[in-house]
Amino acid sequence: MGRPYRLRACLALMLAGAVALPAVAQQPGPRPTPNTPSAPAPSAPAPAPSAPAPSTGAAPKTGQNAQQAPQSPAPGSPAQPGNVKENHGAWSIICDKPAGASVEQCAMMQNVIAEDRPEVGLSVVVLKTADRKARILRILAPLGVLLKDGMELYVDSNNIGRAYFTRCFSEGCYVEVEIDDELMRILRAGKNAVFALRESADQDRVGIPIELNGFGPGYDALP
């Protein structure tokens, strides 16, 4: 299927899952677990000048010319579920009323692909659970990634930690963690993030860059 179909299906899953999240949020995934100090930091695009240098070891590759995937479907394709309410920097606030929900659910979303590695594009969503008691960071990676290694998060070249895949659907596999106060502070203050994963055990990590521009204002605008 084409990329627009994948984005529509991804958005439907992302928002529909938020309605059921109060049950999930009773046992949410923890924030990414810090790695050992020797873990190498990937090269994020346009890193902040003050960012610390990577520690020993080879840095994971980042897709060249990474760019945001289109948030809207191509002409002639079915309408994308949800409506883009606002844009904040690299993030879009998208709202929809999933099946079985009594109220509209909104999420902050960014889709990123790499021109040279389209098979490892990511969809990143930040949302509040329906009861507003938890904040969730949910990342959709394509099928075929190495699940046991999970996904590492770097912000401005700092290794924040590793989280593990929780479930897979036909559109891909999810990493899902609760955003605690410390992780929220890091994401608000950061400029660039990199999610690093492996496609197979004999390959180097692939780093997918995400822009944090607009993260704070976008989250504050979520209902």
**The domain that contains 138 carries what CATH number?**
2.60.40.1880
State the Cα–Cα distance between residues 82 and 80, nearest whole angstrom: 6
189: containing domain: 3-49+59-172+179-221
- Owner of token pair 């990199």: 194
**209 in a structural domain:** yes
The 192-197 sheet, strands edge to edge: 61-62, 206-211, 192-197, 151-155, 158-163
**43 in a structural domain:** yes
What is the predicted pLDDT for the residue at 157?
A: 94
What is the predicted pLDDT for the residue at 114?
A: 62
- Coil, strand or helix at 209: strand
**95 in a structural domain:** yes
What is the predicted pLDDT for the residue at 106?
A: 93
**202 in a structural domain:** yes
**54 in a structural domain:** no
Q: Compute how many other C-beta atoms are within 10 angstroms of the C-beta atom of residue 157.
A: 21
What total number of domains does the chain contain?
Answer: 1
Calculate the alpha carbon distances from 10 to 87, 142, 174, 190 in Å.
19, 11, 11, 26
| Whole-structure pTM value | 0.69
Q: What are the residue ranges in the chain where pLDDT is below 50?
A: 1-9, 17-28, 36-39, 43-59, 63-67, 69-80
What is the predicted pLDDT for the residue at 203?
A: 79
State the Cα–Cα distance between residues 16 and 130, nearest whole angstrom: 11
- Coil, strand or helix at 15: helix
State the Cα–Cα distance between residues 167 and 164, nearest whole angstrom: 9
**124 in a structural domain:** yes
**44 in a structural domain:** yes
What is the predicted pLDDT for the residue at 46?
A: 37
Count of residues making up the chain: 223
- pLDDT tens-digit series, residues 122-179: 999 999 987 888 999 999 999 989 999 999 999 999 999 999 999 999 989 999 999 9
**104 in a structural domain:** yes
What is the predicted pLDDT for the residue at 166?
A: 93
